[in-house]
């Protein structure tokens, strides 16, 4: 049976690698029929798990996937095979948590998988289970817990990397990994996911340089493993750190190359996430039309694949795009949609959901003052380095509207200082000029210049001077 299993599993993986879904389906269904005919419960359960992953990769509906997982669990439980039970628990954890956003069930299955893996001294499954528990922790807003899980998992992968594998057996893959063709490549790809998750978590912790290092490691591993699916998401993870560090040129170059690769792969979760990250990158370099079309495509993909939490970020970015190009009616529509969807999701944190400040102004302009104040508070709490100029500009606008000129001047001045620092980090002159010429950037710089010269009466009496604001003209920087 073991030789038959190896043959069919490797055959199925090879078909998935070539995006030949029909042939992969046939291979796994033949293996399932063989397992049932010979009453091989563990093999039947593992094959049902592979069919469930294949169904997710083909964007099949939840009922189909749920039926396969339920049967896999029922067979594994009845057989008392601890490996099959552990693998099924792990698969349930990844699918219910990442795809279906049922964090309670995902946590329960993930903890069971980890416990069974440790009882069997299965380091590879233990490392995979720790990764999934790290993802769940991040969704629940526990950054410290996520780092603990991921670092423990990476320590295991460092050990696994030095140990040769002779069995030829292929463990279950992450559904966003496509189909690694060997166990060594599966290990490498799984380790890349861990580095990617660490990179994302370090962004939340404010460890920007650490995030960039982890993102580069994730991308290097996924490139070595020749796994396009992993390369796409690893690039997105690296890009988040680069954007926060103001390294816009490198981020744009990497994202455009990753998008070319992504368009050769089946559209699924990773493709939608990359589209949104590319839209964010276009925003950073002030390419507003490119950002709009990219984000609209991301929204269409998310809606088609029913990716609820990912739609939140895309809608929020579209709100930002419309707000900064003066389309306040559409910005208000996107803000309301984003907030409604955000409130419907049972989790404390949605990765890269940091554009509340634009929703704030759109809601204010639409008359939703209460929601606007909630969004403004959240923006201030979650603001990252790469978001600070927008947050400060939004706060400046709110302070002006509230008749608080001193606070408005401070906020706009801080926004202008941050913009100047970001511009100085762009070495390509054409890209820097386009960045500075962007209407939102120019608007903030002009507002900073205006309020800096509106000296309040009490400050004038004390002989205070407004702060010096740097403005950009068509040819050069000019100090006002």
- Taking CA atoms, 394 is separated from 31, 214, 397, 411, in Å, by 59, 32, 5, 8
Q: What is the pLDDT of residue 19?
A: 81
Q: What is the pLDDT of residue 368?
A: 57
d(CA 278, CA 298): 10
- Cβ-based burial of 91 (10 A; exposed 0-12, middle 13-18, buried ≥19): buried
d(CA 24, CA 244): 41
d(CA 55, CA 155): 32
Q: What is the pLDDT of residue 474?
A: 36
Q: What is the pLDDT of residue 263?
A: 93
Q: What is the pLDDT of residue 458?
A: 46
Please, are residues 136 and 97 in contact by the beta-carbon 8 Å criterion? Answer: yes
- Taking CA atoms, 33 is separated from 14, 26, 47, 53, in Å, by 20, 10, 10, 18
Domain boundaries, the chain: 164-285
pLDDT in tens, the chain (480 residues): 578 888 898 899 888 888 888 999 999 999 999 999 999 999 999 999 999 999 988 877 789 999 999 999 999 999 889 999 999 999 999 999 888 888 999 999 999 999 999 999 999 999 999 999 999 999 888 888 999 999 999 999 999 887 765 455 788 888 887 777 788 888 899 999 999 999 999 988 878 899 999 999 999 999 998 888 899 999 999 999 999 888 999 999 999 999 999 998 877 778 888 999 999 999 999 899 999 999 999 999 988 887 767 788 899 899 989 988 889 889 888 988 888 887 777 655 565 555 555 666 666 666 555 555 555 555 455 544 446 677 677 778 777 877 888 888 988 898 888 888 878 877 778 777 877 887 778 888 888 988 888 755 444 444 443 333 334 433 333 333
Compute the C-alpha angle 398/406/476, nearest 5°.
85
Q: What is the pLDDT of residue 455?
A: 57
Q: What is the pLDDT of residue 206?
A: 78
CATH number corresponding to 164-285:
1.25.40.10
d(CA 203, CA 123): 28
Q: What is the pLDDT of residue 89?
A: 97
- Cβ-based burial of 388 (10 A; exposed 0-12, middle 13-18, buried ≥19): middle
Q: In terms of DSSP bridges, do strands 470-472 and 477-479 run parallel, antiparallel, or are they unpaired? A: antiparallel
Q: What is the pLDDT of residue 464?
A: 42
């Amino acid at each position: 049976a073991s030789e038959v299993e190896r043959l069919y599993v490797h055959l199925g993986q090879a078909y998935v690698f070539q995006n030949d879904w029909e042939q992969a389906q046939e291979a796994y269904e033949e293996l399932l029929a063989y397992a049932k005919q010979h009453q091989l419960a563990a093999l039947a359960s593992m094959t049902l798990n592979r069919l469930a992953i294949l169904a997710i990769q083909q964007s099949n509906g939840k009922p189909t996937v749920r039926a396969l997982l339920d049967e896999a669990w029922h067979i594994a439980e009845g057989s008392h095979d601890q490996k099959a039970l552990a693998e099924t628990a792990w698969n349930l954890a990844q699918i219910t948590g990442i795809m279906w956003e049922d964090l309670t069930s995902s946590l329960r299955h993930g903890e069971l998988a980890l416990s069974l893996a440790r009882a069997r001294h299965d380091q590879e499954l233990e490392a995979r289970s720790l990764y999934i528990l790290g993802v769940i922790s991040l969704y629940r807003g526990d950054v410290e817990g996520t780092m603990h899980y991921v670092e423990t998992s990476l320590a295991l992968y460092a050990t696994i990397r030095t140990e040769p594998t002779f069995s030829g057996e292929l463990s279950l893959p992450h559904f966003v990994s496509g189909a690694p063709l060997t166990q060594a490549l599966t290990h490498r790809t799984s380790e890349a996911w861990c580095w990617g998750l660490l990179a994302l978590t370090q962004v939340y912790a404010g460890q920007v340089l650490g995030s960039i290092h982890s993102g580069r490691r994730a991308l290097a591993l996924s490139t070595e493993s020749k796994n396009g699916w992993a390369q796409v998401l690893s690039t997105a993870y690296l890009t988040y750190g680069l954007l926060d560090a103001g390294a816009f040129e490198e981020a744009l170059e990497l994202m455009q190359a990753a998008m070319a690769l992504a368009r050769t792969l089946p559209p699924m979760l990773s493709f939608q996430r990359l589209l949104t990250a590319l839209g964010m990158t276009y925003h950073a370099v002030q390419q507003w039309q490119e950002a709009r079309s990219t984000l609209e495509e991301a929204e269409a993909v998310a809606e088609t694949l029913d990716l609820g939490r990912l739609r939140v970020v895309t809608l929020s970015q579209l709100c930002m795009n419309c707000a900064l190009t003066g389309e306040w009616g559409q910005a208000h529509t996107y803000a309301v949609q984003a907030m409604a969807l955000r409130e419907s999701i049972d989790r404390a944190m949605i990765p890269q959901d940091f554009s509340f400040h634009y929703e704030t102004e759109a809601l204010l302009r639409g008359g939703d003052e209460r929601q606007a104040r909630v969004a403004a508070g959240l923006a201030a709490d979650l603001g990252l380095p790469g978001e600070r100029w927008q947050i400060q500009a939004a706060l400046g606008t709110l302070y002006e509207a509230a008749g608080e000129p001193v606070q408005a001047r401070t906020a706009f001045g801080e926004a202008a200082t941050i913009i100047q620092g970001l511009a100085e980090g762009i070495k390509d002159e054409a890209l820097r000029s386009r960045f500075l010429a962007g209407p939102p950037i120019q608007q903030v710089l002009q507002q900073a210049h205006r309020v800096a010269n509106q000296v309040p009466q009490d400050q004038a009496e004390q002989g205070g001077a407004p702060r010096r604001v740097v403005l950009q003209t068509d040819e050069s920087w000019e100090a006002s």
